Amino acid sequence: MTALPQRARVVVVGGGAIGTSVAYHLALEGERDVLLLERDRLTSGTTWHAAGLMTTFGSLSETSTAMRLYSRELYARLESETGLSTGFRPVGLVEAAAEPERLEEYRRVAAFQRLHGLEVEEIGPAEMSDLFPLARTDDLLAGFHVPGDGRVNPVDLTMSLARGARQRGVRIVEGVSVTGIRTVPSGAVRRVTGVTTSAGDVECEVVVACAGMWTRELMAGLGVVVPNQAAEHYYLITDTIDGVDPDGPIFEDPASYGYYREEGGGLMVGLFEPRAAPWSLDGIPATSSFRTLPPDWDRMAPYLDKAMDRVPVTHDVGIRTFFCGPESFTPDLQPIVGESPGVAGCFVVAGLNSVGILSAGGLGRIVAHWVSTGSPDVDVTGFAATRTRPEQAGRAFRAARTTEILGTVYAAHPPGVELTSARGVRRSPLHTALSLQGARFRDVSGWESPDWYAGPGATPSLTPSWGRAPWFAHWEAEHRAVREAVGLVDMSFMAKLWVTGPDAGAVLSRVSAGDVDGECGRITYTQWLDESARIRADLTVTKLEPDRFLVVASDTAHGSSLDWLERSIGDSRVEVFDGTSGLAQLNVHGPLARSLLSTVTSADLSDGAFPFRAARWIDVGFARALAVRITYVGELGWELYVPTEMAAHVHETLVAAGERFGLRHVGLRALGSLRLEKGYRDYGHDIDNTDDVVSAGLGFAVAMDKPGGFVGREAVAALRKAGPPPRRLVQVLLADPEPLLFHAEPVLRDGVPVGYVRAGSYGWTLGSAVGLAMVGTPDGSPATKGWFDAGTWEVDVAGRRVPATVSLRSLYDPTNARIRG
């Protein structure tokens, strides 16, 4: 065994494909003091038995697509650098679409991924048969061919990455287990000082935990939630089959649960069954480095038969191997990546959900850049480690969710598809009352929140689809109620952070780009920026007293906002308390909002007494509520923050009084269409950590001249001095009222792709689908108003180009007259 050094700047834990890739890319970033520790031997855990697919098709994420394309390119060139082959063979991929909903999905995916450089074409059943003759294709609708995709040898890949890392000075030590991560207090968070191992302690500044299915237990020692769970994962390898082409493409038919490729003169048939089996819920045994599991033939037989039916010859030959091994999955099928909440210098890369090999190259690059520079250079909001929740690590939660989540790898994903396991954990205090209104609940970061309402006493029903559905009538009625009368939205899922102490105002002022530390009783919409003016949070700060503030962020930004704030406190006299569970939030919006609220409170709600952006404690019925005059829908209205125990009374009071004003319960579907008509942003959806505040169109929220400045001020000043940025977030409105926008539809100017829709909905007031899109000039020149006005704009909706209008200003009420009504 190689001697263990006493210290290293960075310690990487785990020697699979992910860990060796992180180490290799850290060396490429110029890190010269990196130590990789592997508890057994390189590739142990999951890497050694991975199927080795290097496929890029299937993602509507810019980050994931770029990550996979980078991996493919890296695996093709790595041998020339290290002298060790990765086993990469670009044999191609054929992805089958057997159902109309999946075909629509794949056409949208193909359009999006072409925009980002993937060579993919739609082909018919006959062409599919020509490429993979052993498959039965007569019942398939179409296929998608990616000639540059292929296969890789996971063990060879890992060894090649390890050699590349060693050649650049990385030390790799096998046979040493990391049993703990040591930290010390550092302001409101903790800071890494080293690791404890089976061979002694090692001092370090940064730890990157790439321990696969062991990561949950390792990080639990720090109080960090990494809820990945191992499950049984299957593939079989047949005996030799005449006519199998060793250079034939990978064939995937998700509807049959299977993927197929040549292996040793026969075929590998891989499986993603709809209902999976979690493995070792009480912890991963230390002896599981190269663990195989006994196959459950009885459970798997129906899925195996269906997969083999797609390639009938597999029924007629012997089975050489029926393999079952453990592989870990996360509750939302996204990896858990990034710096851990509350622990500076502690990074995690885990829960790759059976796409670890094809992600390893790109993910290693992303994490190495993050560690070396302190910031990610891609959108990480979808898989950041700050998004996890304590209940997700519970045994019962992992058991229920893992059973379902593995099956979604190969499921179709039309709008409306939802996970059904481990639900109902977080409920608003109004849950029962909203159920009686016919609420169709959906999972919102663990909360059960109404998406739309079928009406009092009705049972909502929904069939997932890319098209229009009967429930659209309910959605439209809720949308129009807010525009024409008054609507009530339960938003108790919003993150609510109390920030108190003598230095609370100074810290929040330094963190916030807006002027949040002015007069008491005022709310400020603001962004928190990094030093490059990129957005780290998009939220509101309400100053209630000189030393007492309420910060409200979206559910998706809950963990990241809390973590960013706590890291910013340092030695200041500030306390942060997460008050999310203690306050319900009821939003009352619409032209009749003032009329309704005036009947249930003694407070003066007139514009003079209660202006826009004011915050006051008022009575509502017999209760007290913090009323804040602000809007996320573009109409007159108030957000009411009510102690949880008073929420039912406030709701009942509003409903009783609202009957004569046409009050309607409004769900998140209408909230989305209302805010997109107005062009309001949603962090983690249409803006993210790669966007600067100017490109995102949020410069109006920045207070450049406030005393003391703010984090990122110099960068904002430089951006403004440079003039119009090369890319900008704009509203997009389709000219045709029929097509629907959801996410990732490419946007074209004069026939040239220049960006894509980040969030879309139907705009019932505007009369067609509307969205927010980030678009930019192809040559990097300024995206001026003239450039927008001179272009002919279209949106690619599943292969169909639809004429569109783009606008830098809000398409609905651009003067904000309705908000100030």
Q: Can you name the residues that pair with 444 across neighbouring β-strands?
A: 447
For CATH 3.50.50.60, the residue range(s) in the chain are 10-385
Q: What is the pLDDT of residue 808?
A: 97
Percent of all residues in the chain with a pLDDT value above 90, rounded to a whole number? 99
pLDDT greater than 70 at residue 1: no
Q: What is the pLDDT of residues 172-181, one digit of tens each?
A: 999 999 999 9
The answer to whether 25 and 367 have CB atoms below 8 angstroms apart is yes
Here the tokens at position 203 are 């001092």
Q: Is 539 helix (H, G, I), strand (E, B) or coil?
A: strand
Please state, in angstroms and rounded to a whole number, the distance separating the CA atoms of residues 63 and 378: 6
Averaged pLDDT, 238-262: 97
DSSP for 194-227, please give it: EEEETTEEEE-SEEEE--GGGHHHHHHTTT----
Where in the chain is CATH 3.30.1360.120?
495-662
| Cα 539 from Cα 529, distance rounded (Å) | 12
Q: How many CA atoms lie within 13 A of 27 on its CB side?
A: 21
Class of domain 10-385: alpha beta
At 23 the three-state DSSP class reads helix
Whether the Cβ atoms of residue 115 and residue 173 lie closer than 8 Å to each other: no
User: For position 821, what pLDDT does the model report?
Assistant: 79
Q: Please tell me the predicted confidence (pLDDT) of residue 3.
A: 82
Q: Which of helix, strand or coil describes residue 664?
A: strand
User: Above pLDDT 70, what percent of the chain?
Assistant: 100
d(CA 405, CA 385): 19
- Using pLDDT thresholds of 50, 70 and 90, give the confidence band for residue 318: very high
Give the pLDDT band (50/70/90) at residue 601. very high
CA distance 225 to 273: 27
pLDDT, residue 2, reads 67
**DSSP, residue by residue, 626-673:** EEE---SSSSSEEEEEEEGGGHHHHHHHHHHHHGGGT-EE--HHHHHH
Q: Given the structure tokens 């210290």, which residue do they identify?
A: 7
In the DSSP assignment, the letter for residue 131 is: H
Spell out the SS3 assignment of 471-489. CHHHHHHHHHHHHHCCEEE
d(CA 268, CA 259): 8
Mean of pLDDT over the chain: 97
Q: Tell me the whole-structure pTM to 2 decimals.
A: 0.97
Q: Are 676 and 632 in contact (CB under 8 A)?
A: no
Predicted confidence (pLDDT) per residue in 58-81, tens digit? 999 999 999 999 999 999 999 999
d(CA 723, CA 793): 23
Per-residue pLDDT at 637? 98
Phi then psi for 630, rounded to 5 degrees?
Answer: -155, 170
**pLDDT value of position 778:** 96
Q: What 3-state DSSP class applies to 167?
A: helix
d(CA 213, CA 231): 10
pLDDT in tens, 541-554: 999 999 999 999 99
DSSP classification of residue 614: B
Alpha-carbon span 625 to 82, nearest angstrom: 65
Rounded CA-CA distance 533/539 in Å is 16
Q: What mean pLDDT is predicted for residues 143-161?
A: 98
Return the pLDDT at 464: 96
pLDDT of residue 484: 98
- Options 2.60.15.10, 3.40.309.10, 3.30.1360.120, 3.40.50.720; which CATH number does 495-662 get? 3.30.1360.120
DSSP 33: -
One-letter amino acid for residue 799 of the chain: G
Mean pLDDT along residues 411-419: 96
Average pLDDT over residues 514-542: 98
Cβ atoms within 10 A of the Cβ of 287, count? 8
- Mean pLDDT on 775-787: 97
Phi, psi of 400 (to 5 degrees): -70, -45
Contact yes or no for 178/196 (Cβ under 8 A) = yes
> Is the predicted pLDDT of residue 298 greater than 60, yes or no?
yes
Rounded to whole angstroms, the maximal C-alpha distance in the chain is 85
**CA–CA gap between residue 387 and residue 395 (Å, rounded):** 19
